[in-house]
Amino acid sequence: MGCRKRAAKRDLLRITTVEGRCLPDPRGTLPGRGAYLHPDMACYDLAVRRRAFPRALRTQGPLDTADLPPYLGREHGTA
Protein backbone atom coordinates (compact mmCIF):
# COMPACT_ATOMS: atom_id res chain seq x y z
CA MET A 1 0.00 0.00 0.00
CA GLY A 2 2.70 2.49 0.90
CA CYS A 3 5.69 2.06 -1.36
CA ARG A 4 3.84 -0.26 -3.78
CA LYS A 5 6.88 -2.52 -4.15
CA ARG A 6 6.28 -6.23 -4.57
CA ALA A 7 7.34 -8.70 -1.90
CA ALA A 8 6.51 -12.21 -0.77
CA LYS A 9 3.33 -12.43 1.26
CA ARG A 10 5.23 -13.71 4.32
CA ASP A 11 7.37 -10.53 4.29
CA LEU A 12 4.34 -8.22 4.50
CA LEU A 13 1.97 -7.30 7.32
CA ARG A 14 -1.72 -7.95 6.63
CA ILE A 15 -4.05 -5.22 7.82
CA THR A 16 -7.82 -5.47 8.22
CA THR A 17 -10.47 -3.07 9.40
CA VAL A 18 -12.89 -3.58 12.28
CA GLU A 19 -15.36 -0.84 13.26
CA GLY A 20 -13.33 1.95 11.68
CA ARG A 21 -9.96 0.83 13.06
CA CYS A 22 -7.08 -0.67 11.13
CA LEU A 23 -5.86 -3.76 12.92
CA PRO A 24 -2.69 -5.72 12.25
CA ASP A 25 -3.28 -9.35 11.33
CA PRO A 26 0.15 -11.03 11.50
CA ARG A 27 -1.32 -14.55 11.28
CA GLY A 28 -3.68 -13.65 8.43
CA THR A 29 -6.71 -15.16 10.13
CA LEU A 30 -9.01 -12.18 10.78
CA PRO A 31 -12.12 -12.09 8.58
CA GLY A 32 -12.80 -9.47 5.98
CA ARG A 33 -10.87 -7.63 3.33
CA GLY A 34 -7.17 -7.29 3.95
CA ALA A 35 -4.42 -5.11 2.59
CA TYR A 36 -0.68 -5.70 2.78
CA LEU A 37 2.06 -3.33 3.90
CA HIS A 38 5.80 -3.66 4.41
CA PRO A 39 6.32 -3.73 8.19
CA ASP A 40 8.40 -0.56 8.40
CA MET A 41 7.64 3.05 9.27
CA ALA A 42 8.66 4.46 5.88
CA CYS A 43 6.10 2.37 4.04
CA TYR A 44 3.46 3.12 6.71
CA ASP A 45 4.12 6.88 6.45
CA LEU A 46 3.71 6.74 2.67
CA ALA A 47 0.41 4.86 3.02
CA VAL A 48 -0.90 7.43 5.50
CA ARG A 49 0.23 10.34 3.32
CA ARG A 50 -1.41 8.83 0.23
CA ARG A 51 -4.59 7.98 2.15
CA ALA A 52 -4.16 4.41 0.98
CA PHE A 53 -5.83 2.64 3.93
CA PRO A 54 -9.48 3.54 3.15
CA ARG A 55 -8.94 2.96 -0.57
CA ALA A 56 -7.24 -0.42 -0.17
CA LEU A 57 -9.72 -1.63 2.43
CA ARG A 58 -12.68 -0.16 0.52
CA THR A 59 -14.12 1.80 3.42
CA GLN A 60 -15.65 5.25 3.65
CA GLY A 61 -14.08 8.02 5.72
CA PRO A 62 -10.88 8.08 7.75
CA LEU A 63 -9.55 5.03 9.59
CA ASP A 64 -7.79 4.94 12.94
CA THR A 65 -4.30 3.50 12.35
CA ALA A 66 -2.98 3.93 15.92
CA ASP A 67 -2.73 0.15 16.49
CA LEU A 68 -0.24 -0.37 13.64
CA PRO A 69 3.07 1.33 14.67
CA PRO A 70 4.01 -1.28 17.33
CA TYR A 71 4.07 -3.89 14.52
CA LEU A 72 6.36 -1.76 12.34
CA GLY A 73 10.06 -1.14 12.50
CA ARG A 74 11.88 -3.48 10.17
CA GLU A 75 13.36 -2.01 7.01
CA HIS A 76 12.73 -3.53 3.57
CA GLY A 77 14.78 -6.64 2.96
CA THR A 78 15.86 -7.40 6.54
CA ALA A 79 14.81 -10.42 8.54
Instruction: Supply the CATH number for residue 30's domain.
Output: 3.30.1230.10
Q: Looking at the domain assignment, is residue 48 inside a domain?
A: yes
Distance (Å, whole) CA 62 – CA 75: 26
Q: Looking at the domain assignment, is residue 77 inside a domain?
A: no
| pLDDT score of 44 | 92
Domain count, the chain: 1
| pLDDT score of 75 | 55
| pLDDT score of 71 | 87
Kindly report the pTM of this predicted structure. 0.80
Q: What is the pLDDT of residues 24-39, one digit of tens each?
A: 998 989 998 999 999 9
Q: Looking at the domain assignment, is residue 45 inside a domain?
A: yes
Banded model confidence at residue 50, pLDDT cuts 50, 70, 90: very high
Three-state DSSP at 70 gives helix
Q: Looking at the domain assignment, is residue 37 inside a domain?
A: yes
| pLDDT score of 70 | 86
Q: Looking at the domain assignment, is residue 78 inside a domain?
A: no
